[in-house]
Amino acid sequence: MSTKPKKAAKPVAKKSVAPKGSATKTKKKEADKKAQKYPSLLRGMKDILPKDEQFWRNMSHVGESIAESYGFGYIETPIVEEAALFVRTLGKGTDVVDKEMYLFEDREGKKVSLRPEMTASIARAYIAHGMHVMPQPVKVWSMGPLFRYDRPQAGRYRQFHQFDCETIGVHDPGADAELIVVAYNFLRDLGIDTIVHINSIGTLDDRSRYLVELVAYLRSKRAQLSEESKARITKNPLRVLDSKEEQDQPIIEAAPQIIDWLSDESRNYFMKVIEYLDEMEIPYMLQPRLVRGLDYYTDTVFELYPMDDEVRSQNALGGGGRYNGLIEQIGGQPTPAAGFAIGLERIVLELRRLEEKALAEAQAAAVEGVIPEAVPLPPKIFFAHLGDQASRRALSLIEKLRREGVVVLHRIGNNSLKNQLEFANKNQVTHTVILGQKELQDGSIIIRDMASGIQEIVDQKKLKRELERILQRFAAVDTK
């Protein structure tokens, strides 16, 4: 006889009398409990997943080749630096220093910071390694993560990545223009058409004359300004011009423009940068109110935005400018310099937007009966196998192919052919190699063209040659 206690009968569900909204509250509590079970991703941080692998590989490849072709050498500085390096160079009163730095004390009580940008660190490295004795300019590039405790939103993260180029040791409009061209070409090679917004904020002397005028103007409008901008009138008045607050915008619009306070020398320098851009046919727009959000800039400042009107008003893809005082400010000799940085997460967002736009256009064209020209997919080969013996043989063939430079995908485990072909389709595979029991015995193998469904039976010994032929045929079409 069973000693198991009898299961209690299920209570009959009573009609709920709970107040409206309590079910969603319970659900939320349950979800919160579940979420607490696992360590969660910090706010504003992002995992880079295999689905975006192609974007990241491409950005790294294009960045490296473009930097190399313009004569920039690779530099990598630590992610953690003395906090004072950034406070002194980026400036008190800037958003980055006042609100966004990841600051902490190390075990010896030293105040350190996760780098919020690369320029100050590169300037420190230039001094530390005596690079001023090298032939000038010293041109360096880098790519890596940065940290800003920003309010997370689309295109704004707390950890993000930049492609950064700096030209140190020369004061020449040609150097400014070259940097703009490198930034522009980097984005163009990735498939993004941009427009450069450009301005000059002059030398420190020009600026101090301008600031007298600006402060007087801002004081006269004090009552209409946001609280943050009010505080900045005395702390860092130029930063009022970066304010994103709605109520500040009409006051910024009518503010005196720095370009009117430039000395003849600064104005001529700026005109030459513009002439270079004209010469190189770089699309640009003069932006008299562009001052950039960091304090170290002098003379030329610029930002790059997608050419597309729809998103032009949103975040810049990148920006930079000249910073002639920075190296001296942190203890080096007076050294002119300029550079730029482009945000890689913003590129991925923009490329995704362009992909979606192209898809929507193709769908609209299909509705109107216009057949868009088919773009051939790059060949991707998948190896399907059926049965234990065939799986073992497949693995050894795949390994041999890999060693000889032919990459094929496959699925580990005992999957049905249907299942494997579905996987191949999902992964946009163009050709599938199939090895079953019959092929195993007669030494043959099937190659299936996934688009047409046509199958070809070939000798296993000739598999590598056949696959190479498929890959080369595509390369020939691609370069036509």
Interface residues with ligand HAM (CB under 6 A)?
Answer: 117-119, 148, 150, 155-157, 160, 162, 164, 166, 293, 316-321, 323, 339-343, 345-346
State in angstroms the smallest separation of the CB of 355 from ligand HAM: 19
In the complex, the smallest distance separating the C-beta of residue 386 from ligand HAM, rounded to whole angstroms, is 48
Question: Judged by CB, which is closer to ligand HAM: 276, or 382?
Answer: 276
The burial class, CB within 10 Å (0-12 / 13-18 / 19+), for 53 is: exposed
Q: Residue 144 or residue 293: which is nearer to ligand HAM going by CB?
A: 293
In the complex, minimum distance from the CB of residue 185 to ligand HAM, in angstroms, rounded to a whole number = 17
Cα distance between residue 126 and residue 124, in whole Å: 5
Minimum separation from the CB atom of position 194 to ligand HAM (A): 11
Residue closest to ligand HAM when measured from CB atoms: 343
Burial of 364 (0-12, 13-18, 19+ CB in 10 A): exposed
Pure H helices in 280-343: 326-329
Residue 122 CB, nearest approach to ligand HAM (Å): 8
Cβ 141 to ligand HAM shortest distance, Å: 11
Nearest distance in Å: CB 404, ligand HAM: 42
N-terminal to C-terminal alpha carbon distance within the chain = 83
Nearer to ligand HAM, 126 or 323 (CB): 323
Q: Between 150 and 172, whose beta carbon lies closer to ligand HAM? A: 150
155 Rama class: left (phi>0) / alpha (psi -120 to 50) / beta: left
Give me the least distance between CB of 171 and ligand HAM, in Å please: 14
C-beta closer to ligand HAM: residue 86 or 383: 86
Question: How many residues can be counted in the chain?
Answer: 480
CB 117 within 8 A of CB 146: yes
SS3 at position 284: strand
Q: Chain centroid to CA 109: how far?
A: 34
Tokens 């590039």 correspond to: 141
Which is nearer to ligand HAM, 341 or 394 (by Cβ)?
341
CB-based contacts of 401: which residues, under 8 Å, 6+ apart? 407, 408, 463, 464, 467
Q: Are 156 and 315 in contact (CB under 8 A)?
A: yes
- Per-residue burial over 91-105, b if 16 or more Cβ lie within 10 Å, else e, is bebbbbbbebbbeee
CA 142 to chain centre: 13
- CB of residue 244 to ligand HAM, shortest distance in Å: 13
Structure tokens at 165: 């180029």
Task: Please say which residue, 341 or 440, places its beta carbon nearer to ligand HAM.
Answer: 341
Q: Between 122 and 394, whose beta carbon lies closer to ligand HAM?
A: 122
The letter for the amino acid at 285 is M
Question: Residue 440, SS3?
Answer: helix
For ligand HAM, which is the closer residue by CB, 156 or 209? 156
